[in-house]
């Protein structure tokens, strides 16, 4: 099988998995919601102006026995959402996706890893909430990120 055909099959399987996935709402300022043993907690974002970038912070707990894989983040307030990790004092890298091992956590609340939303389509201000969807291989989770000051 050619490389192109293999990649096309992979993309098709991914689209199918996402299309049949269920959604469950989770709120950032309420008790964490559970969905297929995935818990999203401590969800918040920084304020930013139109065209700027907001930092989304959250923690993903995988309380199940199976590996989970975060494919990306979607929101109507930004053109893009990127998973960013620090690789040195000033150097960073962007992840296309990232895994969450079984019985483990993935922490986007530190200076080592975060989610960058931007450029923004509209300003987001302290005190409001922003709707975000986390896209996993077999599910999509909706969360509302409360917008805090720049330092949380």
Give pLDDT, residue 149: 79
Please state which of the ranges 7-11, 65-69, 101-105, 142-146 shows the lowest mean pLDDT. 7-11
Q: How far is it, in rounded angstroms, from Cα 72 to Cα 7?
A: 18
CB 46 within 8 A of CB 55: yes
- Check pLDDT > 50 for residue 2: yes
- DSSP for 103-142, please give it: TEEEE-SSSSEEEEE-SBSS-B-TT-EEEEEEEESSEEEE
**Per-residue pLDDT tens over the stretch 85-139:** 999 999 999 999 999 999 999 999 999 999 999 999 999 999 999 999 999 998 8
Interstrand relation of 139-147 and 92-95 (parallel, antiparallel or unpaired): unpaired
CB 71 within 8 A of CB 13: no
Element (DSSP H or E) covering residue 92: strand 92-95
pTM of the model: 0.75
CB 1 within 8 A of CB 8: no
φ, ψ of residue 17 in degrees (nearest 5): -60, -40
- Give the count of beta carbons closer than 10 Å to the beta carbon of residue 98: 16
Helix (H, G, I), strand (E, B) or coil at 8: helix
CB 120 within 8 A of CB 51: yes
Numbers of helices and strands, H then E, in the chain: 1, 12
């Amino acid at each position: 099988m050619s490389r192109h055909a293999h990649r096309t099959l992979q993309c098709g399987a991914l689209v199918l998995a996402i299309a049949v996935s269920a959604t469950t709402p989770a709120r950032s300022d309420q008790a964490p919601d559970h969905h297929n043993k995935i818990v999203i907690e401590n969800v918040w974002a920084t304020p930013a102006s139109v065209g700027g970038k907001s930092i989304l912070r959250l923690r993903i707990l995988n309380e199940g026995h199976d590996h989970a894989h975060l494919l990306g983040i979607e929101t109507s307030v930004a053109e893009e959402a990127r998973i960013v990790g620090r690789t040195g004092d000033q150097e960073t890298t962007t992840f296309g996706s990232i895994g969450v091992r079984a019985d483990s956590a993935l922490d986007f609340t530190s200076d080592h890893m975060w989610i960058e939303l931007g450029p923004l389509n509209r300003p987001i201000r302290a005190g409001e909430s922003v709707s975000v969807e986390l896209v996993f291989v077999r599910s999509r989770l909706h969360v509302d990120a409360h917008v805090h000051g720049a330092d949380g």
